[in-house]
Structure formats: C-alpha cells, structure tokens
Amino acid sequence: MQVPARFEYEVATSVDEAISLLQRHGPEAHVLAGGHSLVPMMKLRLASPEVVIDIHKLDGELRYIRDDGGVLKIGALVRHQDLLESELIKERYAVLGEAEALIADPLVRNMGTVGGSLANGDPGEDLPAAFVALGCEVVVRGPDGERTISIDDLYAGFYETILEPGEIVTEARISWAPDASSYTKVKRRTGDYAAAAIGVALNMNGEEIEDVRVGMCGVGSTTLRARGAEELLRGQRPDAELYKRAGERAAEESEPLDDARGTVPFKRDLVKVLLGRALAKAVERAEGGA
C-alpha cells in the first residue's frame, strides 16, 4: 500500500494567501492543484513536502478560459477536461485540443490542471510542448507581484522551473492565433506518457510557411523547442522532402534517453516521423482542409 509521508496541510482561499503560506513555510512547502502528479509522487515518496498548500478553492480566481482582445488567457486551475470542452480551443488552437485528448485518461483529466502541468516541469507532460508551439507566456505571481515568463525560458532542468520560492503560476497567455496547429504523439497505451510527441503551430503566406514553432515532449530532460527545424522550414514551400529534412533536423535537436518507452534511435526516428505528420496536418488545415 502506497502512503505519502506525513505532512502538514493548509488550504488557501486566495492566490495572495497561497503566496503568503508559501513564504511562511519556506522551501519544504509544495502547492497542490489537481494533485495528479504530486499525489502519486508523494505516494512513491519521490516527493515528501513538509507542508502541502492546497489551492483547489481558488477556482473563482484561476479557472477561466477567455479571449481578451485576441489574447487567449487560460487560468492555472483550468482542468484538462475544460480545455477539451472549450469551443474557443477547438476552433483556434487545435494543438491544445489534440494534446489534451491524448493526456492521461478522462478521469485524470477531470482533476489535472493547466497550471500544475506547467509548473511540474516534467519533460513528459504534453501541454508544455503544445504551449511551446504556441509561444505561450506563463504568468506567475509572488511576494513581489506578477511577472511573465516565456515558456521557452520556464524550464531549468528535469522537474525544475525558474520559478522563485513563493511564486505560483496563475495563467497561460497566448498572443499568437496561428493559421493552423496540430499535435501528434506516440504512446504505448492510454494513460502512458509519450515515447515522443510533437506540437506545431504555423502561419502560411501563400504557399510558403511564413512562421512556425515546434515543441517536443518526452525527448529531453526538459520540454524542447526545435529551433533548427523551425529555421529550416521558414519561407519554404511545404512538401514531403521538406518535412523529411525538418524531421531529421528536429531529431538531431532532440535529446532522448533510453527507457521502457524506447531506445534513443527509436525515439529520434519518432521525432522525425511525428514532425512530418504534424506539419502535414497543420498545413492541410491552414489551406482549408480538415
């Protein structure tokens, strides 16, 4: 039977209170949102916070999906299921909806939160890769007020973010509404993490790819952005040969590890193939197809 180590439990009733609780209890305190990463880690004793600060009562402040003059704002306590059910996401941000449909399983998606999956720093989480594709900014609040961090800069390492002690993620903010986007993933079964997954978002200019961003999940010690592949794609007319070259470039940029989900060469091959599929799907969408 898996039982977490003993901890002290606090419930925050506002973001400000959560921040002051984090300050008061110091570095051994941990925020609990949906709990579907933290609680399993606590059960396995991979995490043993002395204090757990539960923020589930902050739905009023942090559970919203809104279009603010073309800027998509997603509150940190939005559940995976909320994103899946959002018409706005379905219409304009396919990469998020497609990633969500592949995350864990429907029951876990009822509890897991956007803020939690951003702040957890797990390179196997899908949402950060989808957010990399969209060039998301992460809004955090701490004792000194609010600041925004580019998703490209959020991760310092395996399960490590650049958040300061006392800061919590409050919002994901996306200013870019790309012409089209998509997410592709290979996993062993429902509920499993990705062996590899790729999110892309792009703008077309006539028959050329004007701008593109590529996020990679599960193939490095952090969520990765395939900048070399992006560069190779910009200004080019999409075809099978271009997808192949971009895939090969992204595979070089990936840093996968051997594990139960596959060997390094297998995962690099997945990156290559998945990027091609993701690009083909997004380009087809941008050109008015499915």
Partner 1 sequence: MRIQVNVNGQSREAEVEPRLLLVHFIRDHLELTGTHWGCDTSNCGACTVHLDGEPVKSCTVLAVRTDGHEVTTIEGIWSGTELTPMQEGFHWEHGLQCGFCTPGMILTATAFLEKNPNPSEAEIRDAISGNLCRCTGYENIVKAIQWAANEPSASVASREL
Residues that bind partner 1 (CB under 8 A): 1-9, 11, 32, 35-36, 39-40, 42-43, 52, 54, 56, 81, 104-108, 110-111, 190-191
CB of 152 to partner 1, least distance (A): 30
CB of 233 to partner 1, least distance (A): 32
> Which C-beta is closer to partner 1: that of 108 or that of 177?
108
> Which C-beta is closer to partner 1: that of 81 or that of 221?
81
CB of 85 to partner 1, least distance (A): 9
CB of 269 to partner 1, least distance (A): 26
Residue written as token pair 């864990």: 104
> Which C-beta is closer to partner 1: that of 120 or that of 222?
120
CB of 279 to partner 1, least distance (A): 26
* Whether 278 contacts 198, CB under 8 Å: yes
* Whether 219 contacts 274, CB under 8 Å: no
* Whether 119 contacts 163, CB under 8 Å: yes
Q: Which of 250, 37, 39 is nearest to 124 (CA)?
A: 37
What stretches of the chain adopt beta strand conformation (E)? Answer: 8-11, 29-32, 51-54, 65-68, 71-75, 137-142, 145-150, 155-157, 160-161, 168-174, 180-187, 194-205, 208-217, 224-225
* Distance of alpha carbon 98 from alpha carbon 290, whole angstroms: 13
DSSP string, 93-146: -HHHHHHHHTSS-HHHHTT-BHHHHHHT--TT-HHHHHHHHHT-EEEEEETTEE
> Which C-beta is closer to partner 1: that of 56 or that of 234?
56
Beta bridge partners of 79: 113
CB of 6 to partner 1, least distance (A): 6
> Which C-beta is closer to partner 1: that of 39 or that of 177?
39
Give me the phi and psi of 206, to 5 degrees please: 65, -120
* Distance of alpha carbon 210 from alpha carbon 204, whole angstroms: 5
Other Cβ atoms less than 10 A from the Cβ of 239: the count is: 10
> Which C-beta is closer to partner 1: that of 56 or that of 244?
56
Q: Which of 112, 113, 142 is nearest to 22 (CA)?
A: 142
CB of 184 to partner 1, least distance (A): 17
DSSP 236: P
CB of 2 to partner 1, least distance (A): 5
> Which C-beta is closer to partner 1: that of 81 or that of 203?
81
> Which C-beta is closer to partner 1: that of 44 or that of 71?
44
Instruction: Give the three-class secondary structure for 7.
Output: coil
